[in-house]
Amino acid sequence: MGASAPASMGLLRATQIAQEIGTLPSTVKHYRNLGLLSPVGATPGGYHLFDVHALDRAREIRRLQREERLTLEEIASRLSADQQ
């Protein structure tokens, strides 16, 4: 299975999410550790896999940081309120 196989199945690794939103993989890991992003699975090698919804959420997190200058804590509150 090549590096592009997860993306072709609709699943993305943190590095791919990071590339899509213009940040570092460590930032995506930080979002995951804070509970802002949730993986839907993992590769046999232990890499977390995310679906398209996580990509959309990561894009929204970055937008809120850049455009509205919200902190990650404020973003977490807003996103959890939006889900209710």
Convert 27-37 to b/e letters by CB count within 10 Å (16 or more is b): bbeebbeeebb
- Position 9 scores a pLDDT of 57
Write down the CATH number for the domain with range 5-83.
1.10.1660.10
CA–CA distances in Å: residue 83 to residues 14, 22, 57:
23, 25, 12
Quick one: what percent of the chain has pLDDT higher than 90? Answer: 81
- Write the pLDDT tens digit of every residue in 26-55: 999 999 999 999 999 999 999 999 999 999
Query: What does the pLDDT read at residue 5?
Result: 42
Judge whether residue 10 has pLDDT over 90: no
Q: Global pTM?
A: 0.83
Nearest to 10 by CA among 61, 49, 44, 46: 49
For 48-62, write each residue's pLDDT tens digit: 999 999 999 999 999
